[in-house]
Chain A
Amino acid sequence: MRSLSSFFYRYQRLSLLLLLALPLLWLGVIYLGSLSALLAQSFFSLDGFTGQVVKEFTLSTYTQLFSPANLDVIGRTVTMALVVTLASIIVAFPLAYTMARAASPALRSLLYLLVLMPLWSSYVVRVYAWKLILAKEGVLNWFLSKLHLSWLSDGLLGLPVIGGPSLSLSFIGTFLVFLYIWLPYMILPIAAGLERIPKSLLEASSDLGGKPALSFWRVTFPLVLPGIVAGSIFTFSLTLGDYIIPGVVGNSQPFIGQVVLIQQGTAGNIPLAAAFTVVPMVIMALYLSLARKLGAFEAL
């Protein structure tokens, strides 16, 4: 035992290597390996005659990817992800602010509990529950009609593109469910960011004559920005990849995740499915490099 420990003491590089071997193997082989296999697949193509994958380098799959119908899918998904992210920031910020700053310790624990609790129940169940809430003969419409506010939902649903026959059959519905499902992932990083701002900075700001609004914009907001960006990484990437919500709520116009599923599962067109998977990867890579510049990773 003793000689073993002195052996590792003498060869510190070796012991470091042994310690890192497992995680490195995991990252290198399983994670990066499957990722590069995926990338490689996207440069293959599908033979129309046999339906088999032709393992020769070609860009034809990418030509297919950029057909108008597929660009529609990508555009639709990215727009939804952006809108959901912006709305989450707007909804999450006041709540996170209350949790981190205004609430008493008891209320604060309660709020944290309320934010976290939905994460303990099944995601699918919550999505289906929302389908019932938003249905034409669902809870929300019932309330609106009791409050004589049906004109409001009718007006919204009358809008082109985002409207539809009912909330659960329109993009508005899809958006609301996305917003609800991913909201905790925005609230928590913002609250964490707010909590880390030392009170002394705000006191200094007001001592120097800063009114609350000015202190907020010049002190609080810049310091919490990394938290917001961190939260937006979650909401944006999760919306980009989700394939269950748009299948249950919405008007059946396909999103990226659904197309990947159907291309590899039903059609056996793995090259096109792989090419589709590359799209969110590229978008996220751009997004992350931007986020890094804004210092988001210090708040994770």
Chain B
Amino acid sequence: MKKWFGLCLSLALVLSLSVSAQMNSIGEGEGALSIVAWAGYIERGDTDPAYDWVTDFEAETGCMVSVKTAATSDEMVALMNEGGFDLVTASGDASLRLIYGKQVQAINTDLIPSWSTVDERLQSAAWHTVDGVHYGVPYQWGSNVLMYNTEAFSEAPTSWSVVFEDTTLADGSSNKGRVQAFDGPIYIADAALYLKYHNPDLGIDDPYALTREQFDAALNLLRQQRALVGRYWHDAFVQIDDFTNEGVVASGSWPFQVNLLVAAGEPIASTIPEEGATGWADTTMLHVDAPHPNCAYKWLEHSLNPKLQGDLAAWFGSVPSVPAACTGNELLGESGCDTNGMGNFEKIAFWKTPIAQCGDGKECVPYYEWVTSYIAVLGGR
């Protein structure tokens, strides 16, 4: 019965994917463009005049850009379901939901001259390409890093064990109460990634597709971690404060916090340990009923502009999807891409939403259970 259902589902998907039309030519701009984006992703110089990649576009194309910022992937999906928007900068978890929910249309890459400049590793990434059809243009990506205090560590830690296991650090005291972890349920994947490396008997392949046994093992690791963690972090600025004033010396983090702390002269550095790390990759996607498709295609091309990509990477602490953006960008600097993790692509397990039917007839623990279980772990159970 389940097999039949799966078959019908995939059939329906194939059918629906093949009928969704894509554009064949770009016409005159419609004079307007509306984008759903993460805060800080579409800057027009309001926050800092140096960071502006909208004004030029508007002058050049006559497409007036309006931005609706969203705080979570769920909000993005909800807004796109509502309709009325042209583009969305969707993360790996939202992008597939939008494709399978038929809210976004296939992209004709021939209409985007800069498509060939996109990092080859991203061009056909699984979070926006289904059955060889592209449903978006890669925008930016980044990885979570292990941030540490150089006074507590004589050299860069090589393993995430410093946040998972009770360890005596180089400065002679225990890590108990001095490490942090992210307080979102997706952090369970970080634990799974650690187990994938250290406990191969569990047979974890994809940290976002966990069987019951693998999931329970990850939870046990997280329970052990609970005893070491004073406070879990969810707000970047709270974490920055915890590293400055609370004596926290190691935690999973974003390049964003590392850059700010280093700029403030704190003894902070970051690394990607041997187990690898989790990360995110965002894609600009086009709504199936976009009211301004011509302007949208113009923006998709503009979004790959090396200047924009470099400026955005400097602003957000992310990595450009166009490698050419890494050289000669004033705001990003010569080593900006490396600082933000350009070389770590292979080590990153990119974020996606865990689903029950995780392929090959395997039964995985769905995301809503990740949420309840993680709440229980935080509560000390």
Contacts and interface: CB of A to CB of B under 8 A. Distances in A.
Interface of A: 46, 48-49, 51, 64, 67-70, 72-73, 76, 128, 131-132, 135-138, 164-166, 168-169, 247-248, 250-254, 259, 262-263, 265-269, 272
B210 to A, nearest CB: 14
A43 B356 CA distance: 23
A136 B375 contact: no
B245 A132 contact: yes
Contacts of A251: 230-231
Interface residues of B, number: 35
A72 B376 CA distance: 9
A247 B376 CA distance: 16
B366 to A, nearest CB: 5
Contact of A252 (B183, B185, B367): B183
B246 A137 contact: yes
Query: Top 9 closest A-B pairs, CB basis?
Result: A69-B376, A165-B177, A267-B371, A135-B245, A252-B232, A169-B230, A165-B230, A137-B245, A267-B368
B213 interface: no
B375 A266 contact: no
A166 B245 CA distance: 11
Contacts of B184: 266
Interface in B347-381: 355-357, 366-372, 375-376, 378-381
Contact of B229 (A135, A250, A252): A252
Interface in B315-374: 355-357, 366-372
A251 B229 CA distance: 8
Contact of B231 (A128, A169, A268): A169
A136 B246 contact: yes
A263 B355 contact: no
Given A131-B238, A251-B231, A265-B72, A166 B246 contact: yes
Contacts of A268: 74, 368
Given A76-B379, A266-B184, 9 more contacts: A49-B366, A68-B381, A72-B376, A131-B241, A136-B246, A164-B230, A252-B231, A267-B372, A269-B371
B235 interface: yes
Contacts of B229: 252
Contact of A136 (B185, B232, B235, B247): B247
A164 B184 CA distance: 22
Contacts of B212: none
A67 B366 CA distance: 18
B356 A72 contact: no
Contact of B371 (A128, A168, A266): A266
B375 A132 contact: no
A6 B300 CA distance: 67
A220 to B, nearest CB: 43
A48 B368 contact: yes
24 contacts: A48-B356, A48-B369, A49-B356, A51-B355, A51-B367, A69-B379, A72-B376, A73-B379, A132-B245, A135-B241, A135-B245, A136-B246, A164-B177, A166-B230, A168-B246, A252-B231, A259-B375, A262-B371, A266-B72, A266-B185, A267-B185, A267-B367, A267-B368, A272-B372
A11 B314 CA distance: 71
Interface string B147-179: 000000000000000000000000000000110
A67 B136 CA distance: 42
Contacts of B380: 72, 253
A129 to B, nearest CB: 11
A131 B233 CA distance: 13
Nearest to B245: A135
Contacts of B238: 128, 131, 248
A266 B74 contact: yes
A165 B247 CA distance: 10
A76 B368 CA distance: 23
